[in-house]
């Protein structure tokens, strides 16, 4: 497992409007809520992407950005601060794919890292630009039926976990019927499902996660936390 940092610690995104006659003040009125939904990347650095590959960006209501790099899945916090958005605590899974897909993944992550402005072109397209105004990404909005499955996979549930010594906030994303992704601080861990007498248990190495309804238990080494899903 390896995490990718987008722009070191933070990536600042300035949200802009669409047509050339709009003023800067009109750009400033675009809110975080207007960057909702699922978008498919159609162009990276003004070049096409590999046929049948799947590069996506999901802006969620929970203030997160996530999706597929065409090889791995990534996620990060999306923070609104005045006129800018910041992508923070970005993490990614690490799976080996075909060399061409891995090269495309790096192009996408590099473009995302250097993005400073997002402009809306009509109701269909978003364009991400770097500090020089060069287009780095062009995205088209996905139809609800096409994005429903990915959106469900990218849904993150927040848990509050505690033991006698510490309190931790845990993000949990169910990446399929037999896999769970744990997001804790700056780490992302993918755990496969294992047999359990009660509830659903996921385990890999020294880390285990059991959940039953809104209650869960997180174990790492010799430490155990009792967790409860936020309402």
* pLDDT at site 9: 34
* pLDDT at site 150: 54
Q: Report if residue 1 sits inside a domain.
A: no
Q: Report if residue 191 sits inside a domain.
A: yes
Q: Report if residue 151 sits inside a domain.
A: no
With DSSP H G I counted as helix, E B as strand and the rest as coil, what are the percentages for the chain, rounded to 5? 15, 50, 35
Same-domain pairing of 32 and 97: yes
**Domain extent for 215:** 156-229
Residues of the chain above pLDDT 70, percent: 73
| Structural domain count, the chain | 2
Same-domain pairing of 26 and 83: yes
Same-domain pairing of 205 and 106: no
pLDDT tens digits, one per residue of 62-110: 778 888 888 888 877 777 766 666 667 777 777 778 889 889 999 998 8
pLDDT tens digits, one per residue of 176-227: 667 788 887 666 788 888 887 777 888 988 899 998 878 899 998 889 999 9
Residue 217's CATH number: 2.40.128.200
**H helix or E strand, kind and range, residue 28:** helix 24-28
Q: Report if residue 149 sits inside a domain.
A: no
Same-domain pairing of 27 and 129: yes
């Amino acid at each position: 497992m390896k995490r990718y940092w987008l722009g070191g610690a933070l990536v600042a995104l300035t949200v802009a409007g669409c047509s050339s006659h709009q003023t800067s003040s009109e750009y400033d009125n675009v809110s975080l809520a207007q960057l909702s939904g699922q978008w498919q990347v159609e162009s990276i650095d003004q070049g096409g992407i590999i046929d049948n590959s799947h590069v996506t960006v999901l802006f969620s209501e929970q203030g997160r950005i996530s999706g597929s790099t065409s090889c791995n899945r990534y996620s990060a916090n999306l923070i609104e601060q005045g006129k800018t958005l910041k992508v923070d605590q970005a993490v990614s899974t690490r799976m080996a794919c075909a060399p061409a897909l891995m090269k495309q993944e790096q192009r996408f992550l590099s473009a995302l890292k250097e993005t400073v402005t997002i402009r809306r072109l009509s109701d269909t397209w978003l364009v991400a630009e770097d500090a020089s105004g060069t287009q780095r990404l062009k995205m088209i909005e996905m139809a609800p039926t096409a994005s429903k499955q990915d959106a469900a996979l990218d849904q993150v549930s927040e848990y509050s976990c505690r033991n006698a010594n510490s309190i931790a906030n845990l993000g949990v994303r169910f990446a399929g019927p037999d896999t769970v992704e744990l997001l804790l601080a700056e780490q992302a861990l993918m755990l496969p499902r294992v047999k359990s007498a009660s509830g659903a248990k996921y385990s890999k190495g020294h880390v285990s996660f059991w959940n039953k309804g809104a209650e869960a238990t997180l174990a790492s080494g010799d430490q155990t936390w009792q967790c409860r899903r936020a309402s």
